[in-house]
Structure 1
Amino acid sequence: MKPLLRALVALSMLAAIGPVPSALAQENGVLTTEREKIGYMVGMDVGRSIAPAAPDLDRAAFERAVRNAFSGGQPLLTEEEAKAVAPALMQRIALRNGQPVPGLAPGVEPPAVPKDKVGFLVGADAGRSLAPIRDELDVRVFMQGVADVLDGRKLQLTDQEADALRQSFSARVRTKLQAEAAAAGRKNASEGAAFLARNKATKGVFTTPSGLQYMVLRQGAGPRPRPDANVRVHYHGTLLDGTVFDSSYDRGQPAEFGLDKVIAGWTEGLGLMPVGAKYRFWVPSELAYGDRAGMGPIGPNSTLVFDVELLQIL
């Protein structure tokens, strides 16, 4: 699923986290341009999705977090703060809805939550979900749509108008994103092929018949895993430009998985390693995610780089 669809689908999932209002909302704005109508329509969708959290949410903080996510800023809430706020918010939403409150004894009130932190939490999620279409949105009008829904005001688009706009907008942006993905895929494939051709001549680099390249950083003395083995590893994964997309080292916890459940480059590469070894792998896109986008910043046809330690065969 491409970014636009992920963004629009994510709107319907935000109810589990919370709501939003806006200091810039106009009481009786008039939608005159297509861009304004799109922004308002998306605001309606988000407002309906986050309504369960509205009583606990500061709208100015929500808007600040959305704008911050759109600009690629650092999170306004630390991971520790988010981990503390999210469960308390879920408990408060469940209690208001007359549902069993997870992790709370009957008759016990859930803890209060700082409204600005709830706004930062919910706004960050909304902003990240909508980031792929941020250039299509007028944030002021988007916030007006959110506010009109949360405040129960008369909406400036009927449901029928919003549905028609949503469908045409989705189709248009999907076409645009598909074209951008195809161009990125061609660029990544060309850059990856050129890099692997150069890297092949580097001292200490070996190339397998499939095109996988590897270097022994530390040799091991244990057995080698079979293609269907389960293993425990530490690893660090980057793009060719050094962008980190995944790292068990950063998480401080080794990973465990079956070699028949991962990309082909890993299945082959780990099979070359004795327990205790540490290798570096350069994985061509056809042994990774191919023309599909992978996790995080992995674009179509990306060549991936991994440093891998094989700790144990399980």
Structure 2
Amino acid sequence: MKFRKRSPKTSINWDNFAFFASEWEDSVIGNIDEEYNRLVEHLHYSSTEAESLQVAKRRLSSETLELIRQLGIARAAGNYQQTSELAKLCREAIKEDLKERRAAVMNEAAEAGKSTRKARRSFANFKTKMTSLRRPDGTVTASRRAMEKVIYDFYSDLFDSHVYLPTHHLRQDEYIAPSVLPSEIRHAITSMKDYDIGNYRPICLLSVIYKLFTRVILNRIGRILDEGQPCEQAGFRRGFSTIDHIHTLTRLIEVSREYKMPLCLTFIDLKKAFDTAETEAVIEALGNQAVPTQYIRMLRELYDSFTTRISPFYKEECLREST
């Protein structure tokens, strides 16, 4: 019985990668797509030159692998009794090896001061599958072509602009955005019912360079945006909690009941609040928050004339025990 060899794992020496990446030279190409492709090729070349082989730890012991080999021989020979006995031994041996591997990973995480919860979570297996979707008329379809039509119509309507907003004119300032530092890039890297399409959270596959660039911009303007928020805004802010507001609201209800005063509370829950936000409204809000115009112009160009390709896929993620 032959065992299929796994592809060797590689690791990247980030110092070498930074050295090769720093050899990038800007060109005068007028086509931004060609310039982007050239940058991606250079980054691929840098990562290839900086990678080295990584020794992977085996999950199964040599004794277990020998039992699996004997099981294959017995099955090929048609010896059903021996096959049954060896299969039982293999299951027990594999179970014991994986148990020891889990314990070793947990010990390594504990000794390194890492989160044992994350280490335990890495052993979980996740399988999800989109089998059917409901049409707007209430009928349910399991056809892949019809499901793609439902997905296309849903996100086309979701991302379409339903409100006319005039173009917000940006003010002129003297601010010049500095060059992106390597430290900013490192910081950016680290830092329902199945048939209802509205219950699915899409995975947006964006360019890695795009995500790093927008993360750098967010890190730069984050302090400006945070300082411009009123003290009543507690959600989505670092260092703030809605617990204080909940306590205030509870106290307000108690006082109204104590003095028998009428009280009216309004709770607003916007459907797909972030996805339905108008781009020009966001641009105007950034301008009102005194964000430098150059950053606002960059963000506007990122959202100008962009397109999205939607494709449903089956997710089958089984993390290895050694990860």
TM over 0.5: no
Q: What TM-score, normalized by structure 2, do the two folds share? A: 0.22
Higher relative contact order (CA 8 A, sep 6+): 2
**Which has the larger strand fraction?**
1
